[in-house]
Amino acid sequence: MTAPGPEIKFHSTANASMPHMPARALPRTSFDAQSSRQSHGSSGCSRARSRWRAIAPRPHARAATRPAPTPPNVRAKIARNPAPNQSPAVALRTAPTAVAMPTPQNGSANNASSRMPQAASPSVGTGGATNLPVETASCRSSPPDGASTRVLAGCAATKSNGGAVRGVTRMTRLWLQSRRRRIVAKMRTLYVGNKNYSSWSLRAWLLLRQLGVDFEEKKIELFADGFDRQVARVSPAGLVPVLVDDGFAVWDTLAIAEWVAERCPDKRVWPADAKARARARSICAEMHAGFSELRHRLPMNLEARLPGVERSPAVQRDIDRITSMWSGLRAEHAADGSFLFGAFGAADAFYAPVVTRFLTYAVDVPLACAEYMQTVLALPAMREWTEAALGEKRFIPEEEPYRTSRDA
């Protein structure tokens, strides 16, 4: 089997001499949550969820990860002088971050070095975003805006409270930021499936990697004995991808994209323009909820070349909708860059597995789409994923309606 290369077929140069493969029976694949539920019977959400409850953290486990309490004198000061628009209770809640900041008065990092790992260490399972005061710095170099300022409320309190916590030096801030970055890099984990087959994993992984978000990845082998057990440890939904950020699990690719957009506002998950942003969300939702024929009949399989697989009218309708969508968006955003909305973002990550499918099944596309496919395939992160996929040895029959082995 040849490695995927840029052999993209587009209308003007369609190669009629491609080897023709007989289409075999078309079982469903797992690349659709609904179909995988059907094919696995009871192996899905319900079993996974009861296991999830069984392994949920006990109260004492959560308590062990709480930041150290704010000293009484600082608590009193903060309660007397809450930040504007902040109740004393909120100021106090965010105080551990604020008081951990070094000050010119005490000339040291105070308790920062001992507190940082505690504040940022994984607190298993059920914590919400508001419990995570520090880690936005890990994927952002510029100050946050809008809703995200909430997570930096500790810093806001620092500035407006003055006294012992005013006047943090730039050097020290940078030191703290880089320290946070190192800690957080270890704490954000993306659980993915097999790279050759797992299209939803590719979407989330590509988005994070190409945007430069810090994370480590862990693979859970699809259709392996331990899959249900391993995935249930991190998500009640029983599917990959799952992003565990500081102990807080976010599952489902759309939710992961939104989480990253909120936590890392400098990473441009979505276009800056409101209408373009809405359109990008629309086509991601369309991918997420639709194109079921394409997904079932032409499952992602990066290392395979299957040019002869027959395409039903329903599959062709999905293909036509996608190529017309890509052509329209490329024409509209040509001046802004080479991706669907100019710069790379979630929309491109969501359609990346379609790009690979068009390559695997030698789908004939208009020139603008062929160019777009080249652009996606040339992304450093896409190359990295593809290389890893080609290095995987596993052949998963459940994902292979058209082959009996990797060499077939």
Rounded to a whole number of angstroms, the minimum distance from the CB of residue 30 to ligand GSH is: 4
Cis ω before 241 (30° cut-off from 0): yes
Rounded to a whole number of angstroms, the minimum distance from the CB of residue 57 to ligand GSH is: 23
**205 belongs to the binding site for ligand GSH (CB under 6 A):** no
**222 belongs to the binding site for ligand GSH (CB under 6 A):** yes
**31 belongs to the binding site for ligand GSH (CB under 6 A):** yes
- Cβ atoms 102, 172 nearer than 8 A: yes
**199 belongs to the binding site for ligand GSH (CB under 6 A):** yes
Rounded to a whole number of angstroms, the minimum distance from the CB of residue 139 to ligand GSH is: 20
DSSP state of 255: H
Structure-token match 């036509």, residue found? 320
Read off the tokens for 286: 């369309």
Contact residue for ligand GSH among 40, 166, 219, 317 (CB under 6 A): 40
Between CA 293 and CA 122 the distance in angstroms is: 40
Strand partners, 244: 189, 249
**36 belongs to the binding site for ligand GSH (CB under 6 A):** yes
Contact residue for ligand GSH among 30, 70, 97, 123 (CB under 6 A): 30
**253 belongs to the binding site for ligand GSH (CB under 6 A):** yes
Site for ligand GSH in 355-394 (CB under 6 A): none
Count of residues touching ligand GSH (by CB under 6 A):
17
Q: What is the DSSP string of 13-46?
A: G--TTSPPPPP------SSSHHHHHHHHGGGTHH
**241 belongs to the binding site for ligand GSH (CB under 6 A):** yes
The closest alpha carbon to 207, from 247, 159, 151, 264, belongs to 264
Read off the tokens for 300: 């992602």
What separation in angstroms does the CA of 177 have from each of 109, 112, 159, 173, 301? 13, 12, 17, 6, 40
The closest alpha carbon to 54, from 231, 232, 227, belongs to 232
- Closest CB to ligand GSH among 40 and 403? 40
What separation in angstroms does the CA of 291 have from each of 232, 287, 316? 28, 6, 10
**49 belongs to the binding site for ligand GSH (CB under 6 A):** no
**252 belongs to the binding site for ligand GSH (CB under 6 A):** yes
Rounded to a whole number of angstroms, the minimum distance from the CB of residue 302 to ligand GSH is: 13
Rounded to a whole number of angstroms, the minimum distance from the CB of residue 31 to ligand GSH is: 5
Contact residue for ligand GSH among 96, 193, 236, 345 (CB under 6 A): 193
Contact characters 285-324, ligand GSH, x per CB under 6 A = ---x------------------------------------
- Closest CB to ligand GSH among 44 and 82? 44
Between CA 175 and CA 196 the distance in angstroms is: 40
The closest alpha carbon to 264, from 342, 116, 148, belongs to 148
Residue nearest to ligand GSH (CB): 36
Rounded to a whole number of angstroms, the minimum distance from the CB of residue 281 to ligand GSH is: 14
Q: Which residues bind ligand GSH (CB under 6 A)?
A: 30-31, 33, 36, 40, 193, 198-201, 222, 239-241, 252-253, 288
